[in-house]
Amino acid sequence: MNRLLLGTPVLLALVSCASAPSPGAAQPPVAMHTQAPLVVERVRSMPAPVAQPTRKAMVRRILPLNVRLVTTEAGKVRRAASGVVIGTENGDAGPVSYVLTNAHAVEQGDLVDPVLKVVLDRRAESHEYAAEVVATGQVPDVDLALLRVTGVTWPAADLAGDDELEPGEDVVVAASPYGRALSISGGMVSQVEWDKKTKHPRMLKTDAPIGYGASGGGIFSMETGKLLAIVEGYRTAKVDFEVAAQNFSFDVPMPGETFAAPSAKVRGFLQAKGFGRLLERGTDADGAGSQKTASR
């Protein structure tokens, strides 16, 4: 044990001598350890992504912009259609809201003392308002009409731009089929026809299912909530069948053949009839933004 302890310093000394350079030998260069400069990178602040509203949230936003129309004669309903609130303004006589629909939906030539009403559906309640036709287009080229409802301030739809009308756009149609409460049907833009002279859309088609009473209903973008078009009508196919030696037939709407007046036609109609001011953005009395500015 003592030999091991005593021998250890000697061994260490020998190792040290062996590793030490001789007095005349060249000394190896001493490595200088320098610290690398710190590189500070600026992190650009990226804007947080904006969460897109859910389908339910978008429908809740769109539905209050729509109304239904009822024409009565001697207390009985003779016609039913749909409409979209396109603007609200405050005048000397008080607030006024304007509803866009089809010209053919407000034709009353064959009725005696007809009464046109706008019906506003709010959950379990419905309210009727007297309406006045203030502008109509020429059917079939411009199948649009504008109604005025006095004493009310309703939220108004925003018109989409021409560049927003593209086939494949996810849409909903808000309308009142068969004169019943407003309902929603979904689909997409199936076709956009462009005018070669004006370079503006002249017709839009959708595959969203509709029915009688949907004329004047709004076609809205599910991405932006803006009004793309106003339903004018739909193409049908006649189906015949026989039951108990009796013949029956009915018309079935053809998918993708619901045609509508695009926002460009709506914009031109309002400007031509002296209501271009409704296209301007304003604020209504409640502080909410508004645009001041199918076939039967």
Q: What is the pLDDT of residues 91-105, one digit of tens each?
A: 888 999 999 999 999
Whether the predicted pLDDT of 3 surpasses 50: no
Question: Would 20 be classed as within a structural domain?
Answer: no
Question: Would 4 be classed as within a structural domain?
Answer: no
Measured distance CA(190)–CA(167) in Å, rounded? 5
Name the CA dihedral angle for 264, 195, 254, 222, rounded to a multiple of 10 degrees. -40
Domain containing 77 equals 55-291
Say if residue 140 is preceded by a cis peptide, omega within 30 of 0: yes
Sign of the torsion angle spanned by Cα atoms 186, 188, 191, 193: positive
Q: What is the tally of structural domains in the chain?
A: 1
Strand partners, 174: 184, 218
Report pLDDT for 283: 38
Say which CATH number the domain at 155 has: 2.40.10.120
Question: Would 174 be classed as within a structural domain?
Answer: yes
Can you tell me whether residue 93 is helix, strand or coil?
coil
Residues found in the chain: 296
Can you tell me whether residue 26 is helix, strand or coil?
coil
Measured distance CA(196)–CA(266) in Å, rounded? 18
Tell me the pTM.
0.75
Strand residues in the chain grouped as ranges (E):
66-73, 76-91, 94-101, 115-122, 125-130, 132-136, 145-150, 170-175, 183-194, 201-206, 218-221, 227-243, 246-262, 281-283, 289-291
Can you tell me whether residue 18 is helix, strand or coil?
helix
Question: Would 210 be classed as within a structural domain?
Answer: yes
Q: What mean pLDDT is reported for the chain? A: 82
Report pLDDT for 202: 94
pLDDT band at 239 (very low <50, low <70, confident <90, very high): confident
Identify the weakest region by mean pLDDT among 140-144, 208-212, 233-237: 233-237
Question: Would 179 be classed as within a structural domain?
Answer: yes
Question: Would 141 be classed as within a structural domain?
Answer: yes
Question: Would 45 be classed as within a structural domain?
Answer: no
Q: Rounded mean pLDDT of 263-276?
A: 96
pLDDT in tens, 156-206: 999 999 999 999 999 999 999 888 889 999 999 999 999 999 899 999 999
Question: Would 245 be classed as within a structural domain?
Answer: yes
Q: Which two tokens stand for residue 197?
A: 């002279």
Query: Which carries the bigger pLDDT value, residue 281 or residue 284?
Result: 281
pLDDT in tens, 92-144: 889 999 999 999 999 988 899 999 999 998 888 889 999 999 999 999 899 99
* R_g of the chain computed on alpha carbons: 37
**Cα diameter, the chain:** 134
Percentage, residues of the chain above pLDDT 90? 58
